[in-house]
Structure 1
Amino acid sequence: MSFKIAIIGAGSVGFTKKLFTDILCVPEFKGIEFALTDVSEHNLQMIKAILDRIVEANKLPTKVTATTDRRKALEGARYVISCVRVGGLEAYADDIRIPLKYGIDQCVGDTICAGGILYGQRNIPVILDFCKDIRDVAETDAKFLNYANPMAMNTWAAIEYGKVDTVGLCHGVQHGAEQIAEVLGAKSPRELDYVCSGINHQTWFIELRLNGREIGKDELVAAFEAHPVYSRQEKLRIDVLKRFGVYSTESNGHLSEYLPWYRKRPDEITRWIDMSDWIHGETGGYLRYSTETRNWFETEYPQFLEAASKPIDPSKRSNEHASHILEALETNRVYRGHFNVKNDGVITNLPQDAIVESPGFVDRFGINMAAGITLPEACAATCISSINVQRMSVHAAISGDIDLLKLAVLHDPLVGAVSTPEEVWQMVDEMVVAEAAWLPQYAHAVPAAKERLSKSSVKTREWAGAARRSVRSIEELRAEKAALKQAG
């Protein structure tokens, strides 16, 4: 087969390498072309060198190109994959730092909450630029695979306003299923059959069967509470399982941001999180992890380049959806996964314009969603709260209406549980001013926001959060990796 895949944000080096090797595990795809594009020439050249080394080591006819000219990369592409982070770690740091001044403690801040909403404001104008380029220069009916967060907002904008065939992809469902299989004593995650449905980062395992036997709430609660690691790391998820009756796909830290009951009181936060890894609830945990990962990669790049000389092992193909979707579309080998699409009847008790994450099947006819799923009422209620925030956020990003943006942030469950309207209005002004370089649609609103900030009497505080860790140095990371290697 011969076709072109463009990867936007290919400077996300580790993830791009994973997508690349996954796709090349499909025998029919050896001769395709990958066009890499990114705003960072430095990152682009690093990833191209790694992928060239993989192609050379495996004696493949695969073509790899790299350019900062996005339209050139998209010319003739059949598939476009996005994994961009608009504003990089600089803007992301403000997504965490500024809300903390107003008492809002986020673990990740990339989906909703104050950080996720502003992240969407930065991403959506760029997503629409991508869509215009896809319509103009890619193959007719090219498919856009969005991996970038905030997943629901980006996908919503691309479908509703970008008018491009778009699917949003995430790996939260797979990771949750692996946990459940483990606590139930399965020899392989393949023994677990499940239906998972909801919205991105708030999907719910509404049906579970292990080797054909239905698994109920009580058995699952007992299994998690008996597990020596998850009983400590997933306290919040287990509590939600007890109360809602179903397990959430999302990590302890992520889930804590979407439900207003667990992170609104600083003295309560540490009760529900675990500090053994960022993903279990640490304040600004993903920002720290991302910063350390970037620093590690920059320093240890020669090792990454050397590792690229190893043969591709198809048995190590990951469970990221992209390669499996492409394989199904191009070869007609059917693939079942969980995809982010416009609702349109997929879930009966969520708004029809929302972006939902639910089961579907892929073959040469496209992505075919299982329709008519009804969520438990409590799950639907929490999803609807987030959907309302997402809808307002998308409309604000499209219109550049700062008042609508403030209303979106005000209606966020965690923000609303912590902050007053006056605090929200000032916080949004402060975030828009700080991130103005990536918010062209609010350029007209920045002078007035600065003026309001100069006269504001709303008090803030410098607060690191309830559970903050410092970014570790390269030396500390090396020592930790060496200790883990020795222990293993």
Structure 2
Amino acid sequence: MSFKIAIIGAGSVGFTKKLFTDILCVPEFSDIEFALTDLSEHNLQMIKAILDRIVEANKLPTRVTATTDRRKALEGARYVISCVRVGGLEAYADDIRIPLKYGIDQCVGDTICAGGILYGQRNIPVILDFCKDILEVAEPGAKFLNYANPMAMNTWAAIEYGKVDTVGLCHGVQHGAEQIAEVLGAKSHSELDYVCSGINHQTWFIDLRLNGRKIGKDELVAAFEAHPVYSQQEKLRIDVLKRFGVYSTESNGHLSEYLPWYRKRPDEITRWIDMSDWIHGETGGYLRYSTETRNWFETEYPQFLEAASKPLDVSKRSNEHASHILEALETNRVYRGHFNVKNAGIITNLPQDAIIESPGFVDRFGINMASGITLPEACAATCMASTNVQRMSVHAAVTGDIDLLKLAVLHDPLVGAVSTPEEVWQMVDEMVVAQARWLPQYADAVPAAKERLSKSMVKTRDWAGAARRKVRSIEELRAEKTALKQAG
């Protein structure tokens, strides 16, 4: 087989390498072309060198090109994969820093909440540019695989406004299933069967079977509470399981900021999170992790390049959906996964226009979703609140309507639990002004926002959050890595 895959945001070096090696684990795909594109020439050259080394070490005919000219990369592509972060870590820092001034403490801030909504405002105009290019220069009928957050908003915009065949992909379901298999004592993950459904990052394990035996709420609660690690790291998630009756796919930190109950007061935050790793609820945890990872990669690049000389190990193919979807579409080997698509009746008690995440099967005929799923009422209510925020956020991003943007933020569950309308209005003005270079649709609204900020009487505070950690230096990271090796 010979076809072209374009990866936008290929400067996300580690993730691009994972996608690349996964795809090359499919024997029929050795003779394809990867076209990498990114705004950063520096990052492009780093990842291209790594991928070229992999191709050379494995004596493959695979072709790898890299260009900052996105349309050139997309020309003739059958598949387009996006893993972009518009504004990079600079804009992301504002997504965390500014809401803290108004008492909003986020762990990740990339899905909803104040940070996720502004992230969507930056991404959606760019996503629509991608869609325009795909329709104009990619292979007719090209499929767009979106990995970029905010997943639901980006996918919603690409489908509703970009008019491109789009599927959103995430790995939260797989990670949640791995936890469940572990606490239930499964010998391998294959012993666990499940149906997971909802919206991205608020997906629920509504049916669990271990070796064919149905697993109920009480058994699952007992298994998690008995686990020596997860009982501490996933306290909030276990509490939601007890109250809702089903387990959420998302980490303690992710789930905490999608709900109005657990991060509304500093003492409540520290009660429910765990500081053993950022993903369990640390204030700005993913921002710190991302910053450290970038710094570490820049410093340790020669080692990453050297590691690329090793032979491909098919047994280490990851559970990221992309390679499995492409394999099913091209070879007709059926793949079952959980995908983000427009609802249109798939989940009976969520809106038709919502972007949902639910089970589907892929073969040569495309992605075929299992329809007629009904969520437990509490799960549907929680998903509905986020869906309404996502809808307003998408429409605001497309139209540049700052008033609608403020209403979207106002209706966010955690923001609404913490902030007054006056605070929300000022916070959004401040975020739009701070990120104006990445928000072209709001250019006409920025002068008035600046004027309002100059006259505002709303008080803010200088607050680092309830559980903030400093970014570690390369020396500190190296020392910790050495200590772990010695301990292991």
TM norm structure 2: 1.00
Distance in 2 between residues matched to 1:268 and 1:244, nearest whole Å = 19
Partner of 1:53: 53
What is the CA-CA distance between 1:487 and the residue it aligns to? Answer: 1.4
What is the rounded CA distance, in whole Å, between the counterparts of 1:368 and 1:309 in structure 2? Answer: 38
Distance 1:435 1:85 in 2: 14
Please state whether the residue corresponding to 1:59 is helix, strand or coil: coil
Q: Which runs of 5+ in 2 are unaligned?
A: none
More displaced 10-residue stretch of structure 1: 157-166 or 474-483: 474-483
Written as runs of structure 1 = structure 2, the 5 A alignment for 1:39-78 is 39-78=39-78
The structural deviation recorded for 1:371 is 0.1
Query: Which residue of 2 is the match for residue 146 of structure 1?
Result: 146
Normalised to the residue count of structure 1, the TM-score between the two structures is 1.00
Matched, 1:4 2:8: no
CA distance in 1, matches of 2:35, 2:122: 24
Residue 399 (structure 1) aligns with: 399
* Whole-angstrom distance in 1 between the partners of 2:486 and 2:362: 44
> Displacement, 1:417?
0.4
Secondary structure of the equivalent of 1:345?
coil
2:416 partner SS: helix
Deviations 1:210-241 (A, max 9, x none): 00000000000000000000000000000000
Distance 1:212 1:148 in 2: 35
Counterpart check, 1:245 vs 2:278: no
Question: Per-residue deviation at 1:486?
Answer: 1.3
Measure, in 1, the Cα distance between the counterparts of 2:413 and 2:383.
11
CA offsets per residue over residues 266-309 of structure 1, 9 Å max, x none? 11101000000000000000000000000000000000000000
Residue segments in structure 1 that go unaligned for 5+ positions in a row: none
The alpha-carbon deviation at position 452 of structure 1 amounts to 0.3
Structure 2 SS opposite 1:292: helix
Q: Any idea what SS the aligned residue of 1:96 has?
A: helix
CA offset at residue 147 of structure 1? 0.0
Offset from partner CA, 1:376-413 (integer Å, 9 cap, x none) = 00000000000000000000000000000000000000
Q: Which digits, 9 at most, give the CA deviation of each residue in 1:28-75, with x for residues without a partner?
A: 000000000000000000000000000000000000000000000000
Equivalents in 2 of 1:370, 1:134: separation in Å? 28
Task: Please report how far the alpha carbon of residue 448 of structure 1 lies from its aligned counterpart in structure 2 after TM superposition.
Answer: 0.4
Corresponding residue number in structure 1 for 2:185:
185
The Cα of 1:483 is off from its aligned counterpart by 1.1
Deviation at 1:18, TM superposition (A): 0.1
TM-aligned CA deviation for residue 346 of structure 1:
0.5
- CA drift at 1:479: 0.8
- State the shift of 1:150 in Å: 0.1
CA shift, 1:12, in A, is 0.1
Distance of 2:480 and 2:166 partners within structure 1? 41
CA distance in 1 between partners of 2:487 and 2:5 (Å): 41
Deviations 1:448-482 (CA, angstroms, capped at 9, x unpaired): 00000000000000100000000000011001111
Quote how far apart the aligned CAs of 1:443 are.
0.3
Give distance in 2, aligned partners of 1:32 and 1:409: 43
What is the DSSP-based 3-state SS (H/G/I as helix, E as strand, rest coil) of the residue aligned with 2:179?
helix
> Equivalents in 2 of 1:408, 1:28: separation in Å?
46
Q: Specify the SS of the correspondent of 1:258.
A: coil
Task: Render the CA deviation track for 1:178-217: whole Å, top value 9, x for unaligned.
Answer: 0000000001111000000000000000000000000000
Deviation at 1:158, TM superposition (A): 0.1
Match of 1:126 in 2: 126
The one-character-per-residue Cα deviations of 1:404-426 (angstroms, maximum 9, x if unpaired) are 00000000000000000000000
2-side partners of 1:462 and 1:57: how far apart?
52
Write the deviation string for residues 317-347 of structure 1: whole angstroms up to 9, x where unpaired: 0000000000000000000000000000100
Q: Structure 2: how far apart are the matches of 1:482 and 1:280?
A: 24
- How far residue 355 of structure 1 moved from its aligned partner, in angstroms, is 0.1
**Distance of 2:188 and 2:23 partners within structure 1:** 23
Aligned equivalent of 1:29 = 29
Percent sequence identity is 94
User: Following the alignment from structure 1 to structure 2, what is the Cα–Cα distance between the partners of residues 268 and 408?
Assistant: 25
C-alpha distance in structure 2 between counterparts of 1:480 and 1:318, whole Å: 26
Q: Secondary structure at 1:454's aligned position in 2? A: helix
Partner secondary structure for residue 166 of structure 2: strand
Displacement of 1:484 in angstroms is 1.1
- The CA RMSD measured in Å over matched residues stands at 0.3
Quote the Cα distance in structure 1 between the aligned partners of 2:364 and 2:486: 48
**C-alpha distance in structure 1 between counterparts of 2:104 and 2:208, whole Å:** 35
Instruction: Give the distance between the partners of 1:160 and 1:484, measured in 2 at CA.
Output: 48
Instruction: Give the superposition deviation at 1:83.
Output: 0.0
Alignment partners' CA distance in 1, 2:188 and 2:127: 38
Question: What is the CA-CA distance between 1:146 and the residue it aligns to?
Answer: 0.0
> How far is 1:485 from its partner?
1.1
Q: How far, CA to CA, are the matches of 1:355 and 1:181 in structure 2?
A: 27
Distance in 2, matches of 1:339 and 1:223, equals: 28
Q: Hey, what's the Cα distance between the residues in 2 that align with 1:360 and 1:330?
A: 17
CA distance in 2 between partners of 1:190 and 1:475 (Å) = 40
SS at match of 2:336: strand
CA distance in 2, matches of 1:7, 1:27: 20
CA distance in 2, matches of 1:177, 1:451: 50
Q: Partner of 1:385: helix, strand, or coil?
A: helix
Give deviations 1:160-194, integer Å, cap 9, x for gaps. Answer: 00000000000000000000000000011110000
Deviation digits for residues 90-132 of structure 1 (CA, Å, limit 9, x no counterpart): 0000000000000000000000000000000000000000000
CA distance, structure 2, for counterparts of residue 222 and residue 331 of structure 1: 43
Alignment of 1:345-364 (within 5 A): 345-364=345-364
Corresponding residue SS for 2:156:
helix
In 2, Cα distance between equivalents of 1:487 and 1:199: 40
Q: Give the whole-Å Cα distance in 2 for the aligned partners of 1:451 and 1:117.
A: 23
Q: Deviations over 1:333-381 (max 9, x none)?
A: 0000000000001000000000000000000000000000000000000
In 2, Cα distance between equivalents of 1:305 and 1:12? 15
Deviation for aligned residue 1:264: 0.3
Distance 1:360 1:421 in 2: 40
Distance of 2:3 and 2:21 partners within structure 1: 16
SS in 1 for 2:257: helix
Quote how far apart the aligned CAs of 1:247 are: 0.2
List per-residue Cα deviations over 1:1-49 (Å, max 9, x = no partner): 0000000000000000000000000000000000000000000000000
Aligned to 1:110, what secondary structure does the other structure show? coil
Aligned length: 488
Residue aligning to 1:462: 462
